[in-house]
């Protein structure tokens, strides 16, 4: 167990993971410096702006923790696990660079997005650079199998985005459609972080699978909460305005669950608000009230909680005295995903 006292669970978690985050950040700064040593100064600037921006580093952290849970030491099987881990932050960065071009987003983590600060050309090309760097790290440090898992996850991500495009303004969207898009868009890559961490220390298949399952559930919960924050987040915490999904007619879980349970009149009203661009711009508040009335937010939260429970229970095979501290970090991380406000 993480040592308690008067600290909150979140404070305890942060204290437990801080040394790892510090190391990850250090390796990230060094590697970025090395990767851009001979690069155009503007490219370096773009990458620093987009990567060294106070990200949570959740993905690299999961790589490191997973390798340790499977008995890995700092250096894995001769692999620098931190160097391997930052590949996931690069890939995440690459997708954010491109997403911000696609969504024309001005803000990212409370400061200007790369797209806003440097323009779409820099954001597209900078993303490509990071993409390539991430693949190179995974291929050279993790080997062929890791690269395969990684590429499958990145391609599923693209596929999930296409699915989401297709789903946009499809107001008949089912829960199943939503979870299918989330799996590709977010969860498979989180699963890959855990699995590749385990793979890096030659963990047995059962351990790899358990960690991949943990990542899949955690990633799904993470995305549900992300979608909830788009309705209920605090801009001073999240660094981005609320209501974007609704205004774009993007169907996320709170809306889907509400449309499933609302009476005829309320359902028609919600569809009326959704169906027209202008109505969407002005109708966000009213939509929130309708979602609240049918408990769309709390039901979404419950689904995320169920995911987290399932994530944690899947790690039972790791339970032994030696693992108790690191297992409690995995549990606390899963809880953190539920309660995060940014």
* Residue whose CB is less far from a copy of itself, 122 or 190: 122
Q: What is the C-alpha separation between 304 and 291, in angstroms, rounded?
A: 17
Q: What is the C-alpha separation between 11 and 190, in angstroms, rounded?
A: 23
Minimum separation from the CB atom of position 186 to a copy of itself (A): 15
* Residue whose CB is less far from a copy of itself, 149 or 273: 149
Do residues 52 and 130 make contact, with C-beta atoms less than 8 angstroms apart? no
Minimum separation from the CB atom of position 286 to a copy of itself (A): 29
* Residue whose CB is less far from a copy of itself, 202 or 268: 202
User: Residue 200 is encoded by which pair of tokens?
Assistant: 């890096």
Minimum separation from the CB atom of position 150 to a copy of itself (A): 8
* Residue whose CB is less far from a copy of itself, 111 or 166: 166
Minimum separation from the CB atom of position 212 to a copy of itself (A): 18
Q: What is the C-alpha separation between 118 and 236, in angstroms, rounded?
A: 24
With CA atoms as reference, report the closest residue to 307 among 208, 227, 201.
227
* Residue whose CB is less far from a copy of itself, 162 or 286: 162
Minimum separation from the CB atom of position 8 to a copy of itself (A): 39
* Residue whose CB is less far from a copy of itself, 162 or 260: 162
With CA atoms as reference, report the closest residue to 254 among 305, 304, 298, 307.
298
Minimum separation from the CB atom of position 339 to a copy of itself (A): 32
Q: Which residues, 6+ apart, have CB-to-CB distance to 83 below 8 Å? A: 27, 31, 137, 141
Minimum separation from the CB atom of position 120 to a copy of itself (A): 7
Do residues 75 and 13 make contact, with C-beta atoms less than 8 angstroms apart? no
* Residue whose CB is less far from a copy of itself, 129 or 297: 129
Using CB under 8 A, list all residues that contact a copy of itself. Answer: 35, 38-40, 42-43, 94-95, 98, 101-102, 120-122, 124-129, 131-133, 135-136, 139-140, 144, 147-148, 151, 154-155, 158-159, 161-163, 165-166
Minimum separation from the CB atom of position 68 to a copy of itself (A): 25
Separation in Å, CA 29 to CA 2, 25, 49, 83, 125: 29, 6, 12, 11, 20
* Residue whose CB is less far from a copy of itself, 165 or 317: 165
């Amino acid at each position: 167990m993480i040592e308690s006292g008067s600290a909150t669970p979140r404070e305890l978690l942060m204290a437990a993971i801080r040394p790892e985050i510090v190391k990850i950040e250090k390796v990230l700064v060094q590697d970025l410096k090395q990767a851009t040593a001979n690069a155009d100064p503007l490219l370096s600037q773009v990458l620093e702006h987009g990567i060294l921006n106070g990200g949570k580093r959740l993905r690299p952290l999961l790589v490191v923790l997973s390798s340790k849970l499977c008995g890995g030491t700092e250096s894995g099987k001769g692999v620098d696990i931190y160097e391997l881990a930052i590949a996931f932050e690069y890939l995440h960065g690459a997708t954010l660079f491109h997403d911000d071009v696609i969504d024309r987003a001005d803000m990212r983590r409370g400061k200007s997005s790369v797209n806003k600060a440097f323009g779409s050309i820099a954001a597209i090309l900078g993303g490509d650079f990071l993409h390539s760097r991430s693949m190179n790290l995974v291929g050279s440090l993790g080997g062929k199998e890791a690269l395969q898992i990684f590429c499958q996850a990145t391609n599923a991500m693209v596929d999930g985005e296409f699915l989401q495009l297709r789903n946009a303004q499809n107001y008949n969207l089912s829960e199943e459609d939503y979870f299918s898009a989330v799996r590709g868009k977010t969860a498979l890559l989180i699963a890959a972080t855990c699995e590749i961490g385990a793979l890096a220390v030659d963990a047995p298949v059962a351990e790899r699978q358990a960690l991949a399952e943990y990542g899949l559930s955690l990633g799904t919960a993470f995305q549900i909460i992300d979608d909830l924050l788009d309705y209920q987040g605090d801009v001073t915490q999240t660094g981005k305005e609320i209501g974007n999904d609704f205004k774009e007619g993007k169907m996320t879980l709170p809306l889907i669950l509400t449309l499933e349970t609302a009476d005829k009149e309320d359902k028609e009203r919600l569809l009326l608000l959704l169906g027209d661009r202008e109505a969407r711009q002005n109708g966000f508040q009213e939509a929130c009230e309708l979602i609240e009335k049918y408990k769309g937010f709390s039901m979404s939260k419950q689904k995320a909680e169920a995911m987290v429970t399932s994530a944690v229970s899947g790690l039972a095979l790791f339970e032994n005295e030696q693992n108790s501290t690191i297992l409690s970090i995995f549990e606390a991380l899963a809880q953190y995903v539920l309660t995060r406000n940014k």
